[in-house]
């Protein structure tokens, strides 16, 4: 068992390399395809043409594209993502500062989503076609549909402006984490609840569940110990995908709550045409997705011993 696992992980990592190489080329070309000259954007409207040209040279943007790409790629391979065009700070430092905030938010909201979503899903499936089921599904539908910026502002108005229980925005104490994590978890919780309910309902109709019941096991034991475990595979897939998305895509929530995460850094880098930062973040996102997918696949095996590494 141990040897195949190591080989499996190694093979998956090797498979990811061409993907990541493709990402470097795609992001390199895409940032240069969108209109907007970094020299002019960074120097501002009042700067003279001479200063803009000087900045372009400083940033190496006067070099031919293939040369720029080779330099960039060589840097990436040696772990050097270059300097931010705006702040002249190593891109890896800029990303590192934001990564902590992003991780904190993504992990917390995923934990909320798993805890609340799975519980709600189990309740809904157990009390299928009752008031409990309908209530859970209506709330879940709301969770999927409500825009995060609206939910965020509403939570802020209630808990920060009226009740004064929690800070409205920013980062610092654990209290600062509550509202953005809840806002961000709303969508994932709803998805997880729906997925758990559907998958569990299906499992509850299978023969082995009937067998378990026939053996005289308590209903909750049947549901939690036997059915749920078998129903979790699609739920884990969804949680993995959601977590990957949260790591990279929490831009709206981060903006609404002034949370200094990677999503916001990416948006501000795009509006400043800070090529090195955009490139660095996209590569990091891609790498994180690869890792999250790998971990998800490994989790399948832990949950369901019938699944084997190939």
Q: Is residue 266 part of the contact set for other proteins (CB under 8 A)?
A: no
Structure-block tokens of residue 165: 């229980």
- From residue 182, alpha-carbon distances to 111, 112, 119, 151 in Å are 10, 8, 16, 9
| Other C-beta atoms lying within 10 Å of the C-beta of residue 6 | 10
273 sits near other proteins (criterion: CB under 8 A): yes
- Binding flag, residue 171, other proteins (CB under 8 A): yes
Q: Which of 20, 65, 161, 295 binds other proteins (CB under 8 A)?
A: 161
Side-chain-side CA neighbours of 100 within 13 Å: the count stands at 6
Residue 109 Cβ vs other proteins, minimum distance, rounded to whole Å: 18
275 is a contact residue toward other proteins (CB under 8 A): no
CB of 260 vs other proteins, minimal distance in Å = 3
Q: Which two tokens stand for residue 266?
A: 């990416």
* 40 lies in the site for other proteins, by CB under 8 A: yes
By CB under 8 A, residue 42 contacts other proteins: yes
Rounded CA Rg of the chain: 24
Q: Say whether residue 41 binds other proteins (CB under 8 A).
A: yes
Residue 34 within binding range of other proteins, rule CB under 8 A: yes
Considering the complex, state which of residue 240 and residue 248 has its C-beta at the smaller distance from other proteins. Answer: 248
Per the CB < 8 A criterion, the answer to whether 228 and 193 are in contact is no
Total residue length of the chain? 310
Backbone angles phi, psi at 106, to 5 degrees: -65, -45
Closest approach, Cβ 288 to other proteins, in A, equals: 19
Contact 122, 114 (CB under 8 A): no
Binding flag, residue 168, other proteins (CB under 8 A): yes
- Site membership for other proteins, residue 177 (CB under 8 A): no
Binding segment (CB under 8 A) for other proteins, from list 71-79, 111-119, 158-166, 241-249: 158-166
Check: CB of residue 41 under 8 Å from CB of residue 51.
Answer: no
Task: Kindly report the backbone phi and psi dihedral angles of residue 90, in degrees, each rounded to the nearest multiple of 5, phi listed first.
Answer: -55, 135
Should residue 81 be labelled a site residue for other proteins when binding is judged by CB under 8 A?
A: no
CB atoms within 10 A of CB 88: 8
List residues bridging with 90 in a β-sheet: 83
Instruction: Choose which of 89, 145, 173, 221 interacts with other proteins (CB under 8 A).
Output: 89
| Of 15-23, 138-146, 263-271, 281-289: span binding other proteins (CB under 8 A) | 263-271
Q: Interface with other proteins includes 183 (CB under 8 A)?
A: no
Q: Which residue of 164, 174, 214, 306 would you call a contact of other proteins, by CB under 8 A?
A: 164
Task: Give, as one character, the DSSP assignment of residue 215.
Answer: T
Q: Which stretch binds other proteins (CB under 8 A): 1-9, 202-210, 259-267, 294-302?
A: 259-267
10 Å CB burial of residue 139 (0-12, 13-18, 19+) is: middle
Binding-site size for other proteins (CB under 8 A) equals 50
Alpha carbon dihedral 139, 142, 143, 145, in 10-degree steps, equals 160
Instruction: State the residues that interact with other proteins by CB under 8 A.
Output: 34-37, 40-51, 54-55, 58, 86-89, 94, 97-98, 101, 153, 156-157, 160-161, 164, 167-171, 255-258, 260-261, 264-265, 268, 271-273
């Amino acid at each position: 068992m141990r040897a195949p696992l190591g080989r499996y992980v190694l093979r998956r990592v090797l498979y990811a390399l061409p993907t990541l190489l493709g990402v470097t080329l795609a992001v390199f070309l895409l940032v240069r395809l969108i209109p907007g000259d970094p020299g002019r954007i960074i120097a501002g409207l009042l700067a003279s043409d001479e200063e803009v040209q000087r900045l372009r040279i400083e940033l190496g943007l006067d070099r031919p594209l293939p040369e720029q790409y080779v330099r960039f790629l060589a840097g990436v391979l040696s772990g050097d993502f270059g300097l931010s065009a705006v702040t002249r700070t190593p891109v890896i430092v800029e990303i590192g500062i934001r990564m902590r905030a992003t991780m904190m938010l993504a992990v917390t909201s995923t934990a909320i989503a798993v805890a609340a979503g799975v519980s709600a899903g189990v309740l809904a499936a157990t009390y299928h076609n009752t008031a409990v089921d309908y209530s859970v599904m209506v709330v879940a539908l709301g969770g999927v549909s409500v825009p995060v910026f609206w939910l965020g502002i509403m939570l802020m108005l209630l808990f920060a402006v009226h009740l004064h229980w929690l800070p409205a925005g920013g980062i610092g104490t654990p209290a600062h984490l509550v509202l953005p994590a809840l806002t961000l978890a709303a969508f994932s919780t709803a998805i997880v609840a729906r997925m758990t309910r559907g998958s569990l309902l299906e499992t509850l109709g299978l023969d082995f569940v009937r067998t378990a019941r026939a053996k005289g096991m308590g209903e909750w034991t049947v549901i939690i110990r036997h059915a749920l475990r078998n129903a979790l595979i699609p739920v884990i897939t969804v949680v993995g995908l959601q977590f990957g998305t949260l790591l990279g895509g929490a831009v709206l929530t981060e903006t609404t709550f002034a949370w200094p995460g990677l999503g916001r850094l990416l948006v501000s880098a795009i509006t400043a045409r800070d090529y090195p930062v955009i490139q660095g973040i996209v590569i990091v996102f891609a790498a994180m997705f690869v890792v999250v997918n790998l971990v998800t696949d490994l989790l399948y095996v832990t949950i369901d011993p019938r699944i084997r590494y190939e």
